[in-house]
Structure 1
Amino acid sequence: MTKKRVGVLISGRGSNLQALIEAAKAPDYPAKLALVVSNVAGAQGLARADDAGIPTQVVDHKAFASRPGFEAVLDEALHGAGVDLLCNAGFMRLLTEDFVTRWLNRHLNIHPSLLPAFKGLNTHARVVEAGAKITGCTVHFVRAAMDDGPIVAQAAVPVAPDDTEDSLAARVLAAEHKLYPHALRLVASGDVRVEGEHVVGISRPEGENALFSPPLPGTL
């Protein structure tokens, strides 16, 4: 099996990166983490990558006068590592339309809500304030607009009556750690593809777990 080479963009602790690292250890996983890039020196995720033997690089956005300048160096690093697919994992920078176009339909992001609901920041506080009964997380292909793009997979998380921002965030994060490796597997294996602005090619067996779309392995 020829594995897709994956670049991961981080800004912080890298817990979703760790989930991808663990998933990629499986011999049948169709992706290999080839490079981890942080825009923040000293980000905890860099240590996670080092521990796993994955090459790392820091491209500090503050060192550049413009976003295109930052992105040019970022793009050079990714191509230098032979990256096929790109994953944002807590990467706290908006990217220009030019960069998004260069990586179109090869660039994934995870967001802690059931998109298109609750885009942007302070997601869990807004969910609790709104009195929502269900929230969750979404893996989608990146587009120039924030938290927008064709949806690959989602996981739903019930909101408890006594939930706080922190308690809800912890449960959603646990769902993210299962969902992101699942979604990357779907994309890297070619089981899904983008047509127009929708992801297609997903089989939906009878009785799939309603909390995951498409179902996670072992949840049927």
Structure 2
Amino acid sequence: MAKPNERVKTAVLISGRGSNMVALVTAAQDPNYPADIALVISNRPKAKGLGRAQELGVTAISIDHKAYATREAFEAELDKALSDAKIELICCAGFMRVLTPWFINRWEGRIINIHPSLLPKYKGLNTHARALDAGDREHGCSVHWVSAELDGGAVIKQMSIPIDHRDTAESLADRLLPLELALYPKALAQVARDIKN
């Protein structure tokens, strides 16, 4: 693990455009930031985030889950890539794969995720529509530890916004994104400092 004066070697797992990944990489460009984004991995070879990571000077690779016969075989390759890069902490950022208990156990206490709801509300998908359908007055995002239960790990940090009566699922998602981009770097910094201390 990282020594007190070293930054925590971190990987970001993505499946798409990588907006939260870019926010993390940008924060980590500050030499005083406690995490170093050393690797970006996507399970989708055409994910736009791979190019964005490379433009920012981060090693970015794809491990196509469709190339493996089983979820376990894919995760074994993912685990090898992370271990070979001497990764200490994993950030899931729009990574659209449910990880198996085997992988989560191997990386227990070293995987965090950002989720677009105020957990424990609305685990899983379609969180914005579900918040609107429920008549909620506020909505938000959470960074949490990854556990064997989907979106069930302990919450690290949250931010919220009021829901406007004119909101649609799309407008709510658009308004929430800036909060996500602000929240994840703060949460990662907190976790990385805890790991170092």
Shorter chain as denominator, the TM-score bin is over 0.9
Query: Which of 78, 82, 87 is 1:83 aligned to?
Result: 87
CA distance in 2: counterparts of 1:5 and 1:70, whole angstroms: 22
Structure 2 alignment gaps of length 5 or more: none
1:140 equivalent to 2:141? Answer no
Q: Shift in Å at residue 165 of structure 1? A: 0.7
CA distance in 2: counterparts of 1:191 and 1:113, whole angstroms: 26
Q: Shift in Å at residue 157 of structure 1? A: 1.3
Q: Of the two structures, which has the highest relative contact order with CA contacts closer than 8 Å and spacing of 6 or more?
A: 2
CA distance in 1: counterparts of 2:9 and 2:196, whole angstroms: 17
Q: Shift in Å at residue 192 of structure 1? A: 9.9
| Partner AA of 2:49 in structure 1 | G
RMSD over aligned CA atoms reads 1.3
Query: Which of 22, 27, 30 is 2:34 aligned to?
Result: 30
For residues 132-191 of structure 1, the C-alpha deviation after alignment (integer angstroms, 9 at most, x for no partner) is 001100000101111110111001111111111111001111100000000000000118
Runs of 4+ aligned residues of structure 1 deviating over 2 Å after TM superposition are: none
1:125 equivalent to 2:123? Answer no
Query: Which of 156, 159, 162 is 2:160 aligned to?
Result: 156
Equivalent pairs: percent with the same residue? Answer: 51
Residues 113 and 143, structure 2, Cα contact 8 Å, conserved in 1: yes
1:173 counterpart residue number = 177
Structure 1 alignment gaps of length 5 or more: 194-220
Write out aligned runs for 1:1-220 (5 A): 1-190=5-194
Cα 1:191–1:74 change in 2 (3 A) is closer
CA distance in 2: counterparts of 1:43 and 1:157, whole angstroms: 29
TM-score when scaled to structure 2? 0.95
For residues 91-113 of structure 1, the C-alpha deviation after alignment (integer angstroms, 9 at most, x for no partner) is 00001001001111110000000
Q: Secondary structure at the match of 2:165?
A: coil
Structure whose residues are more often helix by fraction = 2
